[in-house]
Amino acid sequence: MNGLSIDMVMLQIFALFLLAKVAGLVCERFGVSSVIGEIFAGIIIGNTILFQWLSLDIDLGLFEVLAELGVIFLLFSVGLETPFSELRKVGRTATLVAVLGVILPFLAGFAMFMAIDNQLNEALFIGAAMVATSVGITARVISDMKVTRALESRIIIGAAVIDDVLGMIVLAIVMGISAGSSGGLLDIVLVSAEAILFVVLVILLGSILLPKMRRKYAERRGPAEPAQCGDRKRLALSPLPFAIIVCLGLSFLASYAGLAAIIGAFLAGMVFAEFKDKWPCEKDFHPINEFLVPFFFIHVGLLVNIASFAEVIVLAVILTLLAIATKWIGCGLGARSMGRASANIVGIGMVPRGEVGIIIASIGLTMGAITDSLFAIVVFMSMATTIVAPFLLTWAFRRKMDSDGTCGVMETLSP
Residues that bind a copy of itself (CB under 8 A): 1-2, 6-7, 9-11, 13-14, 17-18, 21, 25, 28-29, 31, 59, 61-62, 64-65, 68-69, 72, 143-146, 227-233, 235, 237-238, 240-241, 244-245, 248-249, 251-252, 255-256, 261, 284-288, 290-291, 366, 394, 409, 412-414
Rounded to a whole number of angstroms, the minimum distance from the CB of residue 285 to a copy of itself is: 7
> Residue 315 or 363: which CB sits closer to a copy of itself?
363
In the complex, minimum distance from the CB of residue 30 to a copy of itself, in angstroms, rounded to a whole number: 8
Q: Please identify, using beta-carbon distances, which residue of 117 and 231 lies nearer to a copy of itself.
A: 231
Cβ nearer to a copy of itself, comparing 84 with 252 = 252
Surface-to-core class of residue 411, CB atoms within 10 Å of its CB (0-12 exposed, 13-18 middle, 19+ buried)? exposed
Residue 346 Cβ vs a copy of itself, minimum distance, rounded to whole Å: 19
Q: Whole-number minimum distance, CB 342 to a copy of itself, in Å?
A: 18
Q: Minimum CB separation from a copy of itself for residue 292, in Å?
A: 9
**How buried is residue 15: exposed, middle or buried, by Cβ count under 10 Å (0-12/13-18/19+)?**
middle
Q: Pick the closer one to a copy of itself by CB: 239 or 334.
A: 239
Q: How far is CA 316 from CA 80, 126, 202, 310, 329, in A?
A: 32, 11, 37, 10, 20
**How far apart, in whole angstroms, are the C-alpha atoms of residue 68 and residue 136?**
19
CA-CA distance, 324 to 389, in Å (whole number)? 9
Rounded to the nearest whole angstrom, what is the least distance from the CB of residue 298 to a copy of itself in the complex? 13
Cβ closest to a copy of itself, residue 143 vs residue 406 = 143
State how far Cα 8 lies from the chain centre: 31
Q: What minimum distance in Å lies between the beta carbon of 307 and a copy of itself?
A: 26
CA distance 66 to 60: 10
Question: Amino acid identity of 309?
Answer: F
Choose between 290 and 311: whose C-beta lies nearer to a copy of itself.
Answer: 290
Q: How far is the CB of 325 from a copy of itself (least distance, A)?
A: 24
**Among the residues of 279-371, which ranges form H helices?**
282-303, 306-310, 313-334, 340-349, 354-366
Q: How far apart are CA 296 and CA 74, in angstroms?
A: 9
In our burial notation (b when 16+ CB lie closer than 10 A, e otherwise), range 46-59 reads bbeeeeeebbbeeb
Q: Where are the beta strands (DSSP E) in 197-308?
A: none
Pick 89 or 399: Cβ nearer a copy of itself: 399
Of 89 and 149, the one with the shorter C-beta distance to a copy of itself is 149
- How far is residue 123's CA from residue 48's CA, in Å, rounded to a whole number? 31
